[in-house]
Amino acid sequence: MERIPILGMGRFLLVTIQVDMHDRLAMTLQSDLTDRIVQTGARGVLLDISGLDIVDSFMGRMIANIAAMSRILDAETVVVGMQPAVAITLVELGLTLPGVQTALNVERGMMLLRRATAGSGEDEEIDEALNYQDGDASSPG
Amino acid sequence: MPVVRDELLRLESTHDIVAVRHEVREWATALGLNLVDQTKIVTAASELARNALEYGGGGTACLQALEEGARKGLRLTFEDRGPGIADIALAMTDGYTTSGGLGLGLSGAKRLVNEFEIRSTPGEGTRVTITRWK
């Protein structure tokens, strides 16, 4: 089955949409991405839509859904690379993507994600705390 | 209205929505529409093709290149034989949906083009015609 690739980059996932998306492909991406967030414990998703020459209300809803689902799974989403003509059309269509963070390009998107998930070392602290608890609980027995 | 070229496309699966987008993009480019206007009519076409498929159970998309004196335009007609729309004014309201979508398809498509016409007969189907002039 046709799929949009999801690349791991440290604590983040990078999704670059380069094909003209038909509806089923968009639905598959939603489920693939949420699976990957849970498997990898990713803290952020960078969604690069520079390859999309239109975003209609269906795709807009998919982008908003991805951001909402990721947030519930403790990962931030930043949408990057929207073409100017797409931005103009989206606003006239009436789609403003509330709750979706955007950045102009991948580089700025990465900066935004790093900042949003900063306080790093936090993950390691949580891991240590969990290991400590495990060790503590198992030692008496 | 002199039609200089036309083409009929079937709308039977979501892949056909992609095909309509490609074809409308090609025609809009050939007509000489600028990138923003191309993007607007392709987006409107995508919304209306999906409506015909989702609510009408499939249908057709007709592309027409128009020439009226020096004026050139692209007219698209989406037709389905679905249940039709009982209350067109309500269906044209931003945010109104019967499918759990965003409810921007019809109202949004109208904002993206120069001319918009909708005719629907309950029990017979719906026809939406949009035109973008250069």
Q: In this model, does residue B49 exceed pLDDT 60? A: yes
Q: Which CATH number belongs to the domain containing residue A131 in this structure?
A: 3.30.750.24
B-chain residues near A58 (CB < 8 A): 46, 50, 101
Q: How confident is the model at residue B71 (pLDDT cuts 50, 70, 90)?
A: very high
SS (H, E, C) B49-101: HHHHHHCCCCEEEEEEEEEECCEEEEEEEEEECCCCCCCHHHHCCCCCCCCCC
Q: Quick one: average pLDDT of B2-15?
A: 94
Residue A113 has pLDDT above 60, yes or no: yes
Residue A98 and residue A71 in contact, taking contact as beta carbons nearer than 8 Å: no
Is residue A73 in some structural domain? yes
Query: What value does the mean pLDDT take over residues B44-56?
Result: 95
Cα torsion through B36, B131, B92, A49, rounded to 10: -30
Is the per-residue pLDDT at A126 higher than 70?
Answer: no
* Within-domain flag for A72: yes
Rg (CA), chain B: 14
- Asked whether the beta carbons of residue B43 and residue A58 sit closer than 8 angstroms, the reply is no
Q: Specify the pLDDT at position A141.
A: 44
Indicate the average pLDDT of chain A. Answer: 87
- Nearest Cα neighbor of B79 from B111, B55, B104, B105 is B55
Closest to B83 measured CA to CA, from B115, B104, B54: B54
A121 or A52: whose pLDDT is higher?
A52
| A1 within a domain of the structure (yes/no) | no
Tokens of A68: 């909402």
- Tens of pLDDT, residue by residue over A62-82, are 999 999 999 999 999 999 999
CA B96 from centre of chain: 18
**Number of structural domains found in chain A:** 1
Write down the domain spans for chain B: 3-133
For residues B78-85, give the mean pLDDT. 95
Whether B28 has a pLDDT exceeding 90, the answer reads yes
Question: Å from A43 to nearest chain B CA?
Answer: 28
| Residue-number span of the structural domain to which A59 is assigned | 6-138
User: Chain B: nearest CA to A54, how far in angstroms?
Assistant: 6
The yes/no answer on whether domain B3-133 falls in CATH 3.30.565.10 is yes
How far is CA A131 from each of CA A39, A135, B35, B109, rounded to the nearest angstrom? Answer: 19, 6, 56, 55
Asked if the model's pLDDT at residue B115 lies above 50, the reply is: yes
Averaged over B80-106, what is the pLDDT?
87
User: Is the separation of the CB atoms in A62 and B73 below 8 Å?
Assistant: no
How confident is the model at residue A124, as a pLDDT?
A: 64
CB contact under 8 A, B39 and A86: yes
Which pLDDT score is estimated for A23? Answer: 79
**What residues in chain B have their Cβ under 8 A from chain A's Cβ atoms?**
14-15, 17-18, 21-22, 25, 35-36, 38-40, 42-43, 46-47, 50, 94, 101-102, 104-105, 107-109, 111-112
- The model scores a pTM over 0.90: no
